[in-house]
Amino acid sequence: MGTWIAHLRVAEKVLAALPYLDETTFTFGSLAPDSGIPNADWSQFDPPKAVSHFQNPGESEDKIRDMEFYRGYLQGVAVDDERYSYLVGYYVHLLCDKLWVRWINPTYYMVYAKELAEQGVDYFWTLKKDWYDLDHRYVRDYPDSLFWRVYLRAPLPSMRLPFMNERALQHQTQHIRSFYSEPQARVLDRAYPYLRAETMLRYVTDCANAALKVLPLLDTVAEGETSSLALLSEAELAPYAPPLGDT
């Protein structure tokens, strides 16, 4: 559930710590799970999010079976295999989505219980204005970020997973590129009541640290365990304390 630029910011930190990863394929792998073509109101995707994020239909990101992806596609792939960095990026994306649901969402459900009870998940579109404005502010302020250097300019790698299709990958890549690179009427230098820059930075840093901790340990996860979050402590998984935003 992390934003697209949040995933690329995590990728920047992981790449800095693991220089053997291929920058281009890791970058595109980091956004590949979100390469479904949306319907008009973005409530359904092709391929479905349950497929791309290893969930059962209707489940939240907390139920992502990241170890199923690891065992099915990444385990045993050599570091020098051209697929490796792409698949690691895909895995890190799944992990970060699970962590958003552990760290951010419970606090929202506590602080905005009344609004969510009245409006349901539609209220998240109110919250998301801060998320995506922070993304736009980041790409504005960091012209050397992965978005500008790699994601916007590099050709889409030929890496493919059997449950994804070329049309979806091309469509969503172009959408993300244009969403952040084309001028939009956004006020970015403002208060952020629902998610401030410091909270987003904390999430990005904590995700990168979690990924770096669990990546070397994935083969130690018990066979029946579906999530690598089992490798993190209760303290590391605790929701962020409010307020998440400026108010």
Map out the domains of the chain as residue ranges: 4-237
In total, the chain counts a number of residues equal to 247
Report phi then psi at 23, rounded to 5. Answer: -60, -45
Q: Has residue 175 got a pLDDT over 70?
A: yes
Helices (H) and strands (E) in the chain, counts: 12, 2
- The residues, ordered by sequence, that sit 6+ positions from 26 with a Cβ below 8 Å of its Cβ are 11, 14, 15, 85, 86, 88, 89
DSSP-derived secondary structure letter, 71? I
Prediction pTM value: 0.95
pLDDT bracket for residue 125 (50, 70, 90):
confident
Residue 95: count other Cβ atoms within 10 Å of its Cβ. Answer: 24
**How far apart, in whole angstroms, are the C-alpha atoms of residue 42 and residue 91?**
23
Of residues 72 and 166, the one with the higher pLDDT is: 72
pLDDT bracket for residue 212 (50, 70, 90):
very high
**How far apart, in whole angstroms, are the C-alpha atoms of residue 104 and residue 243?**
11
Distance of CA 120 to the CA centre of its chain: 23
Q: Does the CA dihedral 101-4-86-45 come out positive or negative?
A: positive
Query: To the nearest whole percent, how much of the chain has pLDDT over 90?
Result: 81
Report phi then psi at 45, rounded to 5. Answer: -135, 155
What is the mean pLDDT of the segment spanning 1-5? Answer: 90
| Tokens of residue 211, six digits | 């990924």
What is the mean pLDDT of the segment spanning 193-212? Answer: 98
**How far apart, in whole angstroms, are the C-alpha atoms of residue 161 and residue 170?**
14
| Tokens of residue 184, six digits | 């939009």
Q: For residues 220-241, b (16+ Cβ closer than 10 Å) or e, as one string? A: ebeeeebbbbebbeeeeeebbe
- Res 1: pLDDT: 74
**How far apart, in whole angstroms, are the C-alpha atoms of residue 84 and residue 73?**
10
Q: Is residue 85 within 8 Å of residue 25, measured between CB atoms?
A: yes
Task: Please tell me the least confidently modeled range out of 8-22, 111-125, 229-243.
Answer: 111-125
Q: Is residue 131 within 8 Å of residue 3, measured between CB atoms?
A: yes
What is the mean pLDDT of the segment spanning 85-107? Answer: 97
Residue 26: count other Cβ atoms within 10 Å of its Cβ. Answer: 24
Q: Is residue 29 within 8 Å of residue 21, measured between CB atoms?
A: no
Report the amino acid identity of residue 217: L
- Res 42: pLDDT: 67
What is the mean pLDDT of the segment spanning 191-203? Answer: 98
pLDDT bracket for residue 179 (50, 70, 90):
very high
Report phi then psi at 141, rounded to 5. Answer: -85, -15
pLDDT bracket for residue 159 (50, 70, 90):
confident
Q: Has residue 113 got a pLDDT over 80?
A: yes
Helix (H, G, I), strand (E, B) or coil at 124: helix
